[in-house]
Homo-oligomer: A and B are copies of this chain.
């Protein structure tokens, strides 16, 4: 009897998290209410295809089969077909997909053909590296760099003068910047993120290990290394033996 209430309570808790305050991390969410729901795993694979297609194009090829793509990426050909179907570009049997069209369609699909402006906060080693990165192929342009350290402010890093963090919110607001890149120490992440949100960013690319608590309408994408590293170290530490070729699941004795 009281049992029933319990579940309801926990269910409620879940619901309200989701609906009232949950920052949409998309790590978490796999379906989304966008025009057509795009499987997140597919979305994350698209840049791989794009990269490969550019290679093929550089080699002078004009068409490619999904079999070829799959073999180069070690994916299942069907999966490649499904992913590419998202772009609405059709392939021709016995020939494949038109490379130039596919490239354009994927870029379009990902929003990489129009430039999104972003600010970066935290010009440490990683922030510096990102400032040096050319994101133009990814439709991204870092138009402002900020740091809280007085001795960094005023320095020019990769062509951008570092501004004091006090200017951040106004800078974002005045220029309507939709995206913030967080490369500060984890301890500062939450407060800097809040400044970004106060300025009106719609999305935050979070390179810190901190879990941000932000309003629902702000999209947060985690990009810190730990998730990726976890997969590697777990395998090396516990599964090293099974990385050897073709050892069956259970060692039979």
Q: Which residues from B are CB-within-8-Å of A226?
A: 47-48, 50-51, 138
Contact with B along A87-114 (1 / 0, CB 8 A): 0000000000000000000000111101
Q: Which residues from B are CB-within-8-Å of A26?
A: 231, 235
Given A232-B221, A233-B110: A216 in contact with B239 (beta carbons within 8 A):
no
A220 to B18, alpha carbons, bound, how many Å? Answer: 34
Give chain A interface residues in 165-208, CB to chain B under 8 Å: 178-179, 186, 202-203, 205
CB distance from A238 to the nearest CB of B (A): 6
Contact with B along A213-253 (1 / 0, CB 8 A): 10111110111111111111111111110111111110000
Is A156 located at the chain interface by the 8 A CB criterion?
no
A236 to B64, alpha carbons, bound, how many Å? Answer: 30
Name A37's closest neighbour in chain B (CB-CB): B249
Q: Which residues from B are CB-within-8-Å of A247?
A: 33
Contacting pair B233 A222 (CB below 8 A): no
A20 to B13, alpha carbons, bound, how many Å? Answer: 48
A17 touches which of B28, B71, B139, B236 (Cβ 8 Å) = B71
Is A129 located at the chain interface by the 8 A CB criterion?
yes
A246 touches which of B23, B125, B140, B216 (Cβ 8 Å) = B216
Is A25 located at the chain interface by the 8 A CB criterion?
yes
A128 to B124, alpha carbons, bound, how many Å? Answer: 11
Q: Which residues from B are CB-within-8-Å of A22?
A: 74
A-B pairs with lowest CB-CB distance, top 6: A111-B237, A47-B226, A44-B227, A34-B239, A125-B129, A125-B132
Residues of A whose CB lies within 8 Å of any CB of B are: 10, 13-14, 17-28, 31-35, 38, 40, 43-48, 50-52, 67, 70-77, 109-112, 114, 116, 124-126, 128-129, 132-133, 135, 138-140, 178-179, 186, 202-203, 205, 209-211, 213, 215-219, 221-240, 242-249
